[in-house]
Amino acid sequence: MTTGIGKNTQGIPEEAPRAWRRWSRRAQNLAAIFWSAFLAACLATGLFFSQVDPIDLMAITQPFADLSGLAGYAVGFFFFWFICGVSSWLAVVLIRTSRRQSGEPRGPHH
């Protein structure tokens, strides 16, 4: 949103690179959720598949799907990413809906 004097409401010149502009609260929340979930899923995938061979999992999934070892790694990663994403989303919701020490609810921009 511009103020009519060549700067937006954040005080950044209109000709400034887009990366200089601040992210909205929603964009910040989504970035925090997806990035932290991605990093946690990387760790969880590494730890899980250091103990379990995806080929061994084929015996369990054989009637439902014929997955290769590489597909097993991919499915496992996306499973962990989803679980970690739900956990990260819940953490953001709990933090954003918490009350201040004074008992007042947090506003949308605090």
Query: What are the pLDDT digits (tens) for 53-67?
Result: 888 887 777 767 677
Residue 3 burial (10 A CB sphere; 0-12, 13-18, 19+): exposed
Q: What's the token pair of residue 29?
A: 């929340």
Between CA 38 and CA 84 the distance in angstroms is: 8
Backbone angles phi, psi at 81, to 5 degrees: -65, -40
Give the N- to C-terminal CA distance of the chain in Å, as an integer.
Answer: 20
Task: Encode pLDDT of 31-80 as tens digits.
Answer: 999 999 999 999 999 999 999 988 888 777 776 767 778 888 998 999 99
| pTM summary value | 0.68
Domain boundaries, the chain: 24-96
